[in-house]
Structure 1
């Protein structure tokens, strides 16, 4: 099988399958070449919805000596497990590895950061002005080493079902929806209670994603800026948990499965009416709606509003491991993929929002209609929603706390296996055991 045939392997769930595909992709030789005419094979591992397929093909056309073999893991959590398994083994990482914001803190830790090359050696400082300041700063360690090329950031709006809103007698025009939802989280939940009273249906898909957004808006999340754990005794965190818990107890959560949504069908049958949508979630939602049998007539739209104001959820970087046999070529590929022109194309393919200033300005100016989301100018909306966004400090176990501590507790709450107080107690117990 040729590398170009291997390039689009699709979504990979779980480490074992991913590892098998990566091993196939590396079969061309330990020096990173195919041994045929000086061709260089570069392996890339991403996760979720990156929108890189067409860009890989374009890069190969521009560089005939390069073959790209790409693996895409289904979620950022599974990608974290995959990456740290290979870091621990000292081998198996691709030439280019996507790193997610939630586990960047663990990558930046002493003893792990050294796994990746200092991209200053490959000219990243010449591009520093391309990115918004905090995106570049996040991936710069205390010694000044820069470990990744910034891809996207996660400013957020609200995805909503016009069909569900119409059934409840709520406005469906996105600007009117923005006016309706403008306010804090209490207001968002109160509108949800009105919707629930009118339809008997859930307001949001599940509590976990709402919680992630609520936490990300705080000045300090699961860690203080100096790296201290910040969960127990965090009054703001508990207050938000109780606010969400009350809404969930009132029937506003559909208890959908994260990243699956009943194979996408929950988007199409009014199982829930709203979804918190950082830019990259637009690509995820599109894929789910299509998996559930939907198309551009699905009825979902994107409102320029978010409860509580601006927030950043997610974003990624492309890094080059020290184990790569082709560091220079890998760095060239990662740099090219994150240039403004490519970030605009990536946004068109996946819906995510770029981290480079020029790409952001392009999306804001063009206001291209996104036909899949009822013609909403999603790029322009996200550009406006990015104003005032500040990145929260993410500690080394941030994503683990989100997924393995609060995730199970909120699932239990969604499924009515406990109440809000019980879910908080469960989370604190899991915190002790997971981080022990």
Structure 2
């Protein structure tokens, strides 16, 4: 991402003037439907989007419109839902959230979505960091989504557990402990071994998320920039896999269930001390921590550091399926929800990080303390972590490869069912052939 230093971000952009719109609350409230026609707009999101209050705000400003919202628990299940309905030719909402990990697959059926150029996309394209807007353009030049968030990553950690292990616990010292600007996975796992030796407990929650972060830092991940599969014979990827397998073998993984974490108990019972955290994950941590009976006193914090440097995981878009009976009104809702002013509000509600430049600047400037994370200025930290981030090219089966090709072998390593990196890698290659190459 071209988010070099704060002083460079505003170059060529109406920085301070742009914020006058945010500060005075004069941003567009959306265009009400024509005449007195009553319209119901359906919208489907997933995970933690933080839109509930925004829906109410939009309905108040547009009394002819009622919003019917559905939220699916995970991005993977949302992907299944979208493609099942595309195959059926019906059932999609008027507005659908699309996750970056399966955007490549969506591009194969982009004609199933309206071209938002017809509804003002070109007029607002400069709202977003350039790479985010470019991700939404299909091979025919059609814009099929308004960007919501991006996923720069910092480190969630439990300061109380660090102290119990004799490690420094304040954010600056934790960042320094892990290498600061030169933080590496080698150092992260090395400190993890120190923690394990001092406490007898695991260092991170589970290996799937760590692997995802490691792959996302590569210049090319599961696909090359030309769209070719990039797993078999990839020596760099295999080396990272071996490094992670070594950490698992040293007992650093807590083998938690992804997205569940023991119904949140994993965040309060000391099962693990660190977790890779893109901005949007802070909302998941908050919900799970509270479900597990935890609160601000549990000790979780958020540090401005990440092993291996800048990394992006995730981010989403709001798209309008061609089957919508109200494409103009649906596009207007999607555009309003992704305006900078609304992205600031969404970040406050869900903890994610905006993809619009004005909203990013606003969060960096405000540095609002997040009580649940030891008053960490999570927005400002994420703005720092976003420096240097550029989203990796995602091929059509990128999300499937992460979850269903590498997920099971890593789980087998976490549980001890599989003992060696060689065996786990071979399992991944077999699944790749079964699910992607020969399917």
Q: What TM-score, normalized by structure 2, do the two folds share? A: 0.90
Distance of 2:141 and 2:378 partners within structure 1: 35
Assess if the C-alpha contact under 8 Å between 1:256 and 1:266 holds in 2: yes
2:160 is aligned, of 152, 159, 163, to: 163
Structure-to-structure mapping, 1:16-415, within 5 angstroms? 38-109=37-108, 112-182=109-179, 183-415=183-415
Deviations 1:415-436 (A, max 9, x none): 0001222111111111111112
Greater than 4 Å deviation, 4+ residue runs: none
Distance of 1:417 and 1:59 partners within structure 2: 51
Q: Select between 143-152 and 417-426 the one with higher mean Cα deviation.
A: 417-426
Deviations 1:313-365 (A, max 9, x none): 00000000000000000001000000000000000000000000000000000
Unaligned runs of 5+ in 1: 1-36
Distance of 2:63 and 2:210 partners within structure 1: 45
Distance of 1:259 and 1:142 partners within structure 2: 34
Partner of 2:22: none
Partner of 2:6: none
Deviations 1:41-85 (A, max 9, x none): 000000000000010111111111111111110000000000000
Distance of 2:68 and 2:249 partners within structure 1: 47
SS of residue paired to 2:280: helix
The root-mean-square deviation of aligned C-alpha atoms, in Å, is 0.7
Deviations 1:255-314 (A, max 9, x none): 000000000000001100000000000000000001111122221000000001000000
Deviations 1:355-380 (A, max 9, x none): 00000000000000011111000000
Distance of 1:421 and 1:204 partners within structure 2: 22
Q: Select between 328-337 and 295-304 the one with higher mean Cα deviation.
A: 295-304
Deviations 1:13-37 (A, max 9, x none): xxxxxxxxxxxxxxxxxxxxxxxx7
Distance of 2:70 and 2:153 partners within structure 1: 27
By how many angstroms is 1:163 displaced?
1.5
SS of residue paired to 1:44: strand
Distance of 2:193 and 2:307 partners within structure 1: 15
Distance of 1:151 and 1:273 partners within structure 2: 30
Partner of 1:427: 428
Distance of 1:286 and 1:163 partners within structure 2: 17
Deviations 1:178-210 (A, max 9, x none): 111122101100000000000000000000000
SS of residue paired to 1:135: helix
By how many angstroms is 1:142 displaced?
2.3
SS of residue paired to 2:104: helix
Assess if the C-alpha contact under 8 Å between 1:163 and 1:270 holds in 2: no
Assess if the C-alpha contact under 8 Å between 1:101 and 1:316 holds in 2: yes
Deviations 1:370-420 (A, max 9, x none): 111110000000001101001100000000000000000100000000122
